Structure 1
Amino acid sequence: MASNPPAPPAPFVPSTEPFGFAGRRTDEGPWEEWNPTEDSLAPVRGRHRVAKQRGGGLARSSTVLGVGVIAAVGAGGMASANTGKPPVSISMPDLASVAHVFGGSEAPKGSATALSDVATTSEGTARGAGEALRDRIMAQAESQQVQIDGKSQAATEAALAKQIDDAAAKAEKEAATKAAAAKEKAEAAAKKAAEAVKLAELAKQFQLPVVSYTITGTFGQAGSMWSSGYHTGLDFAAPTGTLIKAIHSGTITQAGWAGAYGYRTILTLDDGTELWFCHQSSISVSVGQKVGTGDVIGRIGATGNVTGPHLHLEVHPDGQATGIDPLPWLRSKGLNP
């Protein structure tokens, strides 16, 4: 690298001037004031340092360096030259030029203002980046919250829809159950009404064998007085001689003495059911005779195995030897003993 040739050594002469200045010396060469300008300093890239000058530059003279030190001390208020000579005029470099040398852009007037602007700009840039990051985070959080709210709302709507469907299904089922119950009830009522009509019609065809009576024995009663061990019919107690009438129209198939039954008359209906009228005091019909409902067939008595006058009535469906309970059968015909 090229450099300035060394200056010839100068004889040492003690100085009597303050700060080592004794006026101009011939061996120092011509003295000139250094006033750097923007055009005289080339921009430096990279780190902030001043490049070496080639030939007659800033580093050529120690006197120029001393002048720079004096200028710095004088500007900081740390020292001042107190000589008898007038002060040396020193020009401060332009701030714009200095900024240009150190790689910065042109600064506005006033170094303090420029530095504060740089700090403010950096702080503003950092604050802007932080705000942008915060805005992005807030936007993401809001987006996630919207998604969560949407999912929650969808789940709520689905649950509500399910509740509505369940309630509708339950209401429909209850309505169907009520309708079925109402229909069943209506059918039962209609059936009952039809049965009542039928019984009313039957009641015109059937009648009780005795008009005035007292029920003294029912079917199935246990006792030693009956040969079978239980009562096989329905007893209508009434005074001797009370008229016995035909319950329904039919044919007399038997009339006469029957041992423990005393005098007995058997009336066979058109469907084959046999009605036995027992313990009569007298018989008013004969075998093979056709009778109608309400016709007199005999009178109450106390013949056979009895303890008092009464009509013992038995019902034998299809002529069976074993009879059934006469009470339900009479009720099925519209009669209520």
Structure 2
Amino acid sequence: MASNRPAPAAPFVPSQEQPETFGYGGYRTDEGPWEEWNPTEESIRPVRGRHRVAKQRGGLARSSTVLGVGVIAAVGAGGMASAQTGKPPVSISLPDLPNVGSLISDDEPAAETAATPLSDIGGTAVADSEDTGTATTTTADAGEALRTRIMAQAEQQQVQVDTKAQAATEAALAKQAQEAAAAAEKKAVEEAAAAKKAAEEEAAKKAEAERLAELARQYTLPTSSYTITSTFGQAGSMWSSGYHTGLDFAAPTGTLIKAVHTGTITEAGWAGSYGYRTILTLDDGTELWFCHQSSISVSVGQKVATGDVIGRVGATGNVTGPHLHLEVHPDGQAGGIDPMAWLRGKGLTP
């Protein structure tokens, strides 16, 4: 680094000899006595036109400031770059400061000098502006690059989180839609099954009605203008078995008795407590007993059809009044069944 020029020597005063030496050697008698020199502004004012020191108006201070800022920026950037890349630190060389001679001007008393700019260090260059005196950054430093990288990574992570959350939401919505579709499909299947069952039941009812209608054309009630007075299973002391074994149609004496269905007469005559009785055996083996008749119109072995007259209502046997006592014995068995239910099974309503 260059040094400043030495100040001009003080005038020689022989009478003021100093006891101590000054300079590079000891006191020399041939140079004369020395006296203490206290320079003042008046004593060092140069002759106009030669060796005049220009007043410094901030040029050196401004250059020093720029130099300090540049050094700090360079050192900071170099250290940050070393921390990021792991490379060895960059050596820094400082330019020589302008010497005092560069500040001396014979023509312009207020000349200003500019400091030499630092070289680019750590990706940052600093320049001195003669107009504004401010330092400007020409490239983004390593710290800004690191901050930008961190912000980009954070944004990328946030995007990943948002994407994952959106995917989870879409999966949940898809699952809900699938469950809703499955529930709707199940409900539709159940409704279809219920509708099918209802249709089948309706068809069964319709078929049964048609069957009963067809049977009704094949079967008929045993008499007309009647009143039901006693039903099957009714308890009482009037019956030897302790309960009623048939169905009673109360009607005036002489009312016609008809064959309920096509069959063969297997019995016709007196039957004790049953009075005059006629037994009609159907093709399936079921026996129909018509009791308490006043008269019989058929004979054993005779074939009859539905609605043919086989006798008349009477009050013979163990009775309290004229009526038709009807019993039903499937397969000719001794114990009978409820005639009301059997007639209803044939499409008839007593």
TM-score using structure 2 length:
0.66
Q: CA RMSD of the aligned region, Å?
A: 3.7
2:144 matches 1:131: yes
- List structure 1 segments (4+ residues) > 3 angstroms apart after TM superposition: 81-88, 105-121, 123-131
> What corresponds to 1:227 in structure 2?
240
Q: How many residues align?
A: 270
What are the residue-to-residue correspondences of 1:295-334 with 2, within 5 Å? 295-334=308-347
Asked if the contact 2:95/2:116 (under 8 Å) is kept, the reply is no
- Contact 1:264/1:280, CA 8 A, preserved across alignment: yes
Change (3 A) 1:212 1:85: closer
Deviations 1:257-296 (A, max 9, x none): 2222222111100000011111212222222221111111
Check if 1:80 corresponds to 2:38. no
Distance in 2, matches of 1:269 and 1:179, equals 44
TM-score computed with the length of structure 1 as normaliser = 0.69
The C-alpha deviation readout for 1:128-151, integer Å capped at 9, x for no partner, is: 444333322221221111111111
**SS state at 1:282 partner:** strand
Q: Does 1:209 align with 2:199?
A: no
Give the 5 Å matches for 1:284-299: 284-299=297-312
Matching of residue 104 in structure 1 with residue 56 in structure 2: no
> Where do 5+ consecutive residues of structure 1 fail to align?
20-69, 71-78
- Partners of 1:242 and 1:83 lie apart in 2 by 173
- Tell me how far apart the structure 2 counterparts of residues 186 and 10 of structure 1 sit (CA, whole Å): 145
In the aligned structure 1, how far is the partner of 2:142 from the partner of 2:199? Answer: 83
Displacement of 1:80: 2.2
Matches within 5 A, 1:261-280: 261-280=274-293
Alignment partner of 2:51 out of 89, 93, 104: 89
- Corresponding residue for residue 157 of structure 1: 170
Find the residue that maps to 2:266 and give its secondary structure: strand
* CA gap 1:84/1:204 in 2 versus in 1, 3 angstroms: closer
Partner secondary structure for residue 312 of structure 1: strand
Contact 2:45 2:52 in 1 (8 A): no
- Evaluate the alpha carbon distance shift between residue 207 and residue 89 of structure 1 in structure 2; reply closer, same or farther with a 3 A threshold: same
| Structure 2: distance between partners of 1:107 and 1:218 | 141
| Distance change >3 Å, CA 104–CA 282, structure 1 → 2 | same
Q: Alpha carbons of 1:128 and 1:6: their partners in 2 closer, same or farther (altered >3 Å)?
A: closer
Identity of matched residues, %: 67
Instruction: Describe the shift of the 1:266–1:120 C-alpha distance in structure 2 as closer, same or farther (beyond 3 A).
Output: farther
Distance change in 2, residues 1:125/1:308 (3 Å):
farther
Name the structure 2 match of 1:281. 294
- Please say which of residues 106-115 and 256-265 is displaced more in the overlay: 106-115
